[in-house]
Structure 1
Amino acid sequence: FKHATDSSICLNWNEVKGGFDIWKCYSTPKQQFQFDEFRLTYCLRNDLRQCLQAYETLTGNGLQLRLPGEAACLEHGEHAIARVPCHETALAQRWQYESSSMRFRAAVAQGSCLEFGEGESDLVAVECQSTSDQKFRYSIGTDGRKYCVGHDNDRRCVQEATLGAEQPLRLPDSPECLQYEGRKQVLQLAVCKAGMSEQLWLFDEATQVFRSSIDGTQCLDYMSDEESFSAEPCHDNLQGQQFARNYLGRYCMNGRPELCVQEASMMMRY
């Protein structure tokens, strides 16, 4: 754990004092932790008796959530949960996670908790209760941070909606926008039109992929035989669909820095 304002300082176990302090970061078991997804604690790898837990507060706005593979956010309604475009300021899209009870409370209705219904993607907001259907266990993997109920084949999850704002994209040497033409199709270069859904993409910070605002299961990819960007199903092998932002403000494919896109509203850079 590095300090937020000084990355050279780490959380450290002091054997003499028998407690945690801060110290210069270096490779030592006294600064190495592992996460317990059932107790929601971070414990020293070489002494599992010494643990920490993230401080929780219900005064914050909470998290935006979505179903894995979807771009829409879960929004609390009076009678149902809607899946709608993510908006940073929408309080109805915020859910507060209680690590002690493992429940998600609606920020706009503290007595209302998130629960899975009978279907795999059937979500409801009901009165908060101490039932297993409302207990979401935290996990983190290559596809981002998830909160799941159940186990194995019956495991159903929601995911932090770490999606950026919808944005049009273009090639660095072109003024035209990349336009979605359907699944597994080469993207077309078209005149940029403000608010046109086919030209909007959401950058998923957790997985570093661009999802189509039309279909959140489709990700920006590159079709080598056509030498063009395309829309392909988002898959587990994310390496071929991941982008990283460089110092020019461009998003370039991991392992292929010559293949880049950038925000269409940005000025041309050379």
Structure 2
Amino acid sequence: MSHIVDSTVPDEQDHVLPATGTVRHHWAFTRIGLYLLLASLPLLAISAQVFGVVSMNATGALVIIPLAAILVVLCVFAPHPVDRIVGHGLFWGMFACLVYDVFRLDTVYLLGLWGDFIPRMGTWVHAGSDPRTGAIVGYLWRYLGDGGGIGIAFFLLALAFGLQHRSRRTVLVAFVTFAVAPVWAGLIGTVAFSPGGQQKMFPLTPTTITLSLIGHLIFGLVLGLGFLRARARLARHWPWRPLLPARLATAAETP
């Protein structure tokens, strides 16, 4: 059975670069690179902390917060069409994380199937020991950094590879797949292979592995649905033609 690409999404031939082409195109690559770097750092900082490479306090204070401030200033004083994509990715990433947490916190605080390591992670960020402050900082990091960062990265990569021209099923499969690998696989790898990872985060048991996987499947699905909702608008802000041409994407999905 063939799959029909959304008619609301502009075709590759209809893709138009921004009016101020040369200047915006020149800065787009650097800007997207900075956004991808910022989006990846919150997750990588957790692994670096658990492996004992560098503390989250140092990473946040010296790298993540200054880089985020620079990009906010650029958005205000030198806006670029890519900023709209980033805004949507940030919002849908945080929303997907919220839906994920509805499931996760139910299994933590109501069913008691595993513990909540987010408050402990927050104490790593602010270099303190107060669990209440740790919970506030930890969940801010989780939503703005982890959830929002993954949303930004996924949206940028999806547009780069032309998922705005693909069928709904392909988009959802792609987002769920990326939520599992590398995101979930990276989490489990950090817990499994870092010294004391299971004591610092959560023990690896059939229950915790299954619950964390289900949570990431939920996250990827909701994020994919968010991309489908916004892709017709966001495709117009992408500065280049997709790496996978629309006609090849359509052909690949037609037996």
TM-score, with normalisation over the residues of structure 2? 0.23
TM-score by length of 1: 0.22
Radius of gyration: which is bigger? 1
Q: Specify which structure has the higher proportion of helix.
A: 2
